[in-house]
Amino acid sequence: MNDISQPSKFELPTIFVIFGVTGDLVKKKILKALYHLYRKKRLPQRFRIYGFSRRDYDDGKLRSYLREIMQTNSYKEPEYFDEFLQAFSYVKGDFNIKVAYDDLAKTLGRVDGEWSICSNKLFYLAVPPTSYSDIVTNLHESGLTKPCGPEEGWTRVILEKPFGTDLATALGLDRQLGDLFKEEQIYRVDHYLGKETVKNILVFRFSNSFLTPSWNKNYIEKIEVRLLEHLDVQSRGEFYDKVGALRDVGQNHMLQLLGLFIMDHPYKFIPEDIRNKRSEALASLHVMSESDVAKRTYRGQYKGYLQEKGVDPKSQTETYFRIEARSDLPDFDGVPLILESGKAQECEMIEVIVTFKETPLCLYDVEGEQKNTLHYHIRPDEKITMKFFAKKPGFSNETAEHELGFDYNKAYSKELFVDDYESLLFDIIRGDQTLFVSTQEIMSEWKFIEPIVKTWKEQNKPALFEYEKGKKIEIKS
């Protein structure tokens, strides 16, 4: 059934166990990704998927539930729905009760007996983070995550962000995972790393030799990472008010993007080296003092936020932030690294802008600043553009700004694009950890974020400002 050449470990029979199979993550992301992989013949030839949940379901009811999701969301090729869904079975159990895992182990053991081989096993925790501790403990104690051997029967555990709510909880979760599993068994998902344009950042940076000489503090004036959302908190008020914009998207998505733009060249283009360099980049960020936070951060809240359902009427939770970070990496020492994100913004966009310094010895007189910029668009457009200067036609030496660009959607057929969860699941099966967050990265992210959150909360510095929904926020540096 597979049409790609992969190592034998990829071809081995594989069992997927999804904790929280009736939850939102499966409904919105995982089911579709698995179906696409199935239709593209990117799953192992023999595979089964077990849903683990507390609902009073059986195999037939689970399949009917999943089929309804596929029909409601207009999945393509409905003639293959039933064939795909035959791979699903249901195991009823409570995440907190060990005997349920013993029953699951017996079920999976019977499948191995049918196949006459110790299958690979993948455990996806599609559940709230509050359930992580009980699940990983019970998985370990039941023996479900014990690999059969180096050549067959690997086991992998997949967790979604957030990885803790602060440095202490992140450390606690990490210690528990480290005590129970090997690092190569743990896959921490930040779905932004699976986006096609994000996966391309390293290829773009390190495969184009003309960029290398100028990718440092001698030529780069600043780097800006923006994640702007047009929508407000909508129905997530109660959750959002406990988290805020910085912990919701800054601590993970945005710092991961920044790491990809400032990391050093990996020694080899392999997962271990890439993750090490990304980790070094995040560890290089200055941990801010209270005075740094007061001077180099801004936080705002949109008008009407306090009236949102579930929000504390006296809430000081930020829905917008702007942070000027600094790095100790030799190539970026002194370069402002700006992180900006907010709800209820003028437009919807995710982008990284690299601004180069003004040409020091320009041959021609020009009005205003003459700076080249590299604009890396991730959403809504998927493209890369660069601004440059050229002479206008005529007798004078007047210059004008122009743009070079590459547009993903114009260059490639839409069929070639891979959904972020589809890409991540495929890499988990292959055992490629490049797009997954390491322990060191998570700790560095929290060490950078926590002093900012603490100063905002305890010192009220800088003061929270109010902004109009749907209007651009202007902050003078």
237-255 confidence digits (pLDDT tens): 999 999 999 999 999 999 9
Does one domain contain both 136 and 234?
no
- CA nearest to 170, candidates 418, 437, 397, 384: 437
Q: Is residue 275 part of a domain?
A: yes
Q: Which residues are catalytic?
A: 253
**pLDDT reported for residue 348:** 95
**pLDDT reported for residue 447:** 97
Q: How far apart are CA 187 and CA 155, in angstroms?
A: 11
The yes-or-no verdict on residue 153 having pLDDT over 70 is yes
Strand 47-53 to 88-92 pairing: parallel
SS3 state of residue 325? strand
Question: Checking phi first, is residue 156 left (phi over 0); if not, alpha (psi -120 to 50) or beta?
Answer: beta
Does one domain contain both 360 and 414?
yes
**pLDDT reported for residue 361:** 57
Q: How far apart are CA 181 and CA 164, in angstroms?
A: 18
**pLDDT reported for residue 183:** 92
Does one domain contain both 274 and 390?
yes
pLDDT mean over 424-444: 94
Q: How far apart are CA 256 and CA 203, in angstroms?
A: 16
Q: Yes or no: say if 39 and 80 are a contact pair by the CB < 8 Å rule.
A: yes
Does one domain contain both 105 and 234?
no
Q: Residue 338 pairs with which residues in a beta bridge?
A: 224, 324
The yes-or-no verdict on residue 401 having pLDDT over 50 is yes
**pLDDT reported for residue 162:** 85
The yes-or-no verdict on residue 327 having pLDDT over 60 is yes
Q: Is residue 178 part of a domain?
A: no
Domain boundary at 144, 160, 176, which? 160
**pLDDT reported for residue 4:** 35
Does one domain contain both 152 and 260?
no
Q: Is residue 180 part of a domain?
A: no
**In 3-state terms, the chain is what percent helix, strand and coil (to 5)?**
40, 20, 35
Strand 155-160 to 337-342 pairing: unpaired
Q: pLDDT-based confidence at 3, cuts 50/70/90? A: very low
Q: Which of 142-151, 177-186, 203-212, 251-260 has the lowest mean pLDDT?
A: 142-151
Q: pLDDT-based confidence at 398, cuts 50/70/90? A: confident
Q: Yes or no: say if 424 and 192 are a contact pair by the CB < 8 Å rule.
A: no
Q: Is residue 169 part of a domain?
A: no
Alpha helices in 117-251 (DSSP H): 132-141, 167-180, 196-206, 237-245
The yes-or-no verdict on residue 6 having pLDDT over 60 is no
Measure the N-to-C terminal CA separation of the chain; round to a whole number of Å: 57
Domain boundary at 138, 160, 182, which? 160
The yes-or-no verdict on residue 405 having pLDDT over 70 is yes
pLDDT mean over 346-362: 87
pLDDT mean over 445-459: 96
**pLDDT reported for residue 202:** 93
Q: Is residue 175 part of a domain?
A: no
Q: Yes or no: say if 274 and 437 are a contact pair by the CB < 8 Å rule.
A: no
Q: How far apart are CA 448 and CA 445, in angstroms?
A: 5
Q: For 105-130, b where at least 16 C-beta lie within 10 A, e where not — what string?
A: eebbeebbeeeeebbbbbbbbbbebe
The yes-or-no verdict on residue 5 having pLDDT over 50 is no
- CA nearest to 53, candidates 15, 102, 107, 89: 89
Q: Residue 157 pairs with which residues in a beta bridge?
A: 123, 186
Does one domain contain both 124 and 239?
no
Q: Is residue 173 part of a domain?
A: no
Higher pLDDT, 421 or 153: 421
Q: Residue 187 pairs with which residues in a beta bridge?
A: 158
Q: Yes or no: say if 119 and 153 are a contact pair by the CB < 8 Å rule.
A: yes
Q: pLDDT-based confidence at 358, cuts 50/70/90? A: confident
pLDDT mean over 298-316: 97
Q: Which CATH number covers residue 43?
A: 3.40.50.720
Q: pLDDT-based confidence at 2, cuts 50/70/90? A: very low
Q: Yes or no: say if 132 and 98 are a contact pair by the CB < 8 Å rule.
A: no
Q: How far apart are CA 21 and CA 130, in angstroms?
A: 16
**pLDDT reported for residue 180:** 95
**pTM assigned to the model:** 0.91
Q: How far apart are CA 197 and CA 383, in angstroms?
A: 8
Extract the tokens encoding 323.
Answer: 């942070």
Q: pLDDT-based confidence at 151, cuts 50/70/90? A: low
Q: How far apart are CA 44 and CA 155, in angstroms?
A: 15
Does one domain contain both 94 and 226?
no
Q: Is residue 179 part of a domain?
A: no
pLDDT mean over 63-92: 96
Does one domain contain both 340 and 272?
yes
Q: Yes or no: say if 437 and 425 are a contact pair by the CB < 8 Å rule.
A: no
Q: Residue 325 pairs with which residues in a beta bridge?
A: 337
Q: Residue 323 pairs with which residues in a beta bridge?
A: 297, 339
**pLDDT reported for residue 269:** 86
pLDDT mean over 150-177: 89
The yes-or-no verdict on residue 364 having pLDDT over 90 is no
Q: Is residue 184 part of a domain?
A: no
Q: In total, how many domains does the chain have?
A: 2
The yes-or-no verdict on residue 224 having pLDDT over 50 is yes
What percentage of the chain exceeds 70 in pLDDT? 95
Q: Yes or no: say if 325 and 285 are a contact pair by the CB < 8 Å rule.
A: yes
**pLDDT reported for residue 37:** 96
What DSSP assignment string belongs to 115-127? Answer: HTS--EEEEEE-S
What percentage of the chain exceeds 90 in pLDDT? 81
pLDDT mean over 162-166: 87
State which residues form the domain around 48. Answer: 8-160
Q: How far apart are CA 125 and CA 313, in angstroms?
A: 34
Phi, psi for 388 (deg, rounded to 5) = -140, 175
